[in-house]
């Protein structure tokens, strides 16, 4: 899969995506990216990429002529995504749909300032996605979150493949159970006896119950979602 990334800070890529399993996948050409500098399409004597809002108000808006030209420069755009607080909240199910949908190209718009002109969203039928209920200074980190969560679901990226991914939070319908490793006693804290018993049935039941209890306590919304 290839990601076209529209940004005024192309130097921020690959950033964190150059490390770990996602970084190795980039080296192995399992995925690729193309960082497009929106400033290359700036207009006017001052090379503007933004202007004040119609109707007044604080904050600048990215110019439609500039963003439109940047989008038109991308040969294989695929689906276009704009990271915005008003977008649909990104979750594991959505990420899987992108991967399983066979997308070869995705174009990611990293907004800055107050946002982008609404007409660009309408013109290109852009999908808006949010990574959480908070405001960031730009979409670059959101794009890295999206790419990381997507790439790690691709074949030959995560060690252990689907078996490893299938036992993670959200993949199991809730939050993951507590994890332990050696030593069995650390600073006076013991590993639960059931995990040392070797009884796979009891271990499985313990993990399932722990997952349910933790999810109910910390993310009850996930319980409601799984019942839909």
| Domain edges within the chain | 2-151, 167-226
Looking at residue 154, what is its pLDDT? 95
Q: Global pTM?
A: 0.90
With beta carbons less than 8 A apart as the criterion, state whether 41 and 66 touch. yes
Token pair 């209890």 is found at 213
10 Å CB burial of residue 41 (0-12, 13-18, 19+) is: buried
Handedness of CA 12, 17, 23, 28 (dihedral sign): negative
Query: How far from 41 is each of 80, 112, 168, CA to CA, in Å?
Result: 18, 15, 42
- The CATH class of 2-151 is alpha beta
pLDDT tens, position by position, 188-217: 999 999 999 999 999 999 999 999 999 999
Give per-residue pLDDT as tens, 78-134. Answer: 999 999 999 999 999 999 999 999 889 999 999 999 999 999 999 999 999 999 999
Residues 43-65 pLDDT 10s: 988 899 999 999 999 999 999 99
- Report how far residue 219's alpha carbon sits from residue 104's, in angstroms, rounded to the nearest whole number: 33
**For the residues 1-6, what does the mean pLDDT come to?**
98
> What mean pLDDT value characterizes the chain?
94
Q: What's the CATH number of domain 167-226, 3.40.800.20, 1.10.1270.20, 3.30.470.20, 3.30.565.10?
A: 1.10.1270.20
Residue 135 near residue 129 (C-beta atoms within 8 A) = no
**Paired sense of beta strands 79-89 and 105-109, if any:** parallel
Q: Which pLDDT does position 204 carry in this prediction? A: 96
Decide if 111 contacts 117 (C-beta within 8 A): no
36, pLDDT greater than 90? yes
169 pLDDT higher than 80: no
Mean pLDDT of 164-179: 83
The DSSP H or E segment spanning 119 is helix 118-123
| Tokens found for residue 26 | 């980039």
Strands 115-116 and 60-62: what pairing? Answer: parallel
Residue 160 has pLDDT above 80, yes or no: no
């Amino acid at each position: 899969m290839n990601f076209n990334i529209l940004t005024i800070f192309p130097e921020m890529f690959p950033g964190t995506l150059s490390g770990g399993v996602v970084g190795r996948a980039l080296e192995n050409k399992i995925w690729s990216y193309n960082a497009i500098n929106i400033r290359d399409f700036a207009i006017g004597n001052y090379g503007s990429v933004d202007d004040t809002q119609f109707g007044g108000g604080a904050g600048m808006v990215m110019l439609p002529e500039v963003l439109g030209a940047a989008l038109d420069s991308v040969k294989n755009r695929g689906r276009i995504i704009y990271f915005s607080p008003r977008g649909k909240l990104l979750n594991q199910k959505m990420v899987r749909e992108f991967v399983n949908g066979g997308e070869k190209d995705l174009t990611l718009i990293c907004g800055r300032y107050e946002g982008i002109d609404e007409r660009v969203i309408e013109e290109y039928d852009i999908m808006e996605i949010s990574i959480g209920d908070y405001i960031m200074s730009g979409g670059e980190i959101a794009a890295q979150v999206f790419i990381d969560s997507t790439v790690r679901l691709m074949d030959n990226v995560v060690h252990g493949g689907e078996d490893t991914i299938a036992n993670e939070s959200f993949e199991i319908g809730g939050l993951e159970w507590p994890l332990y490793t050696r030593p069995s006693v650390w600073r006076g804290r013991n590993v639960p006896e059931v995990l040392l018993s070797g009884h796979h049935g009891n271990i499985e039941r313990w993990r399932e119950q722990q997952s349910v209890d933790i999810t109910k306590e910390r993310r009850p919304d996930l319980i409601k979602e799984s019942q839909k």
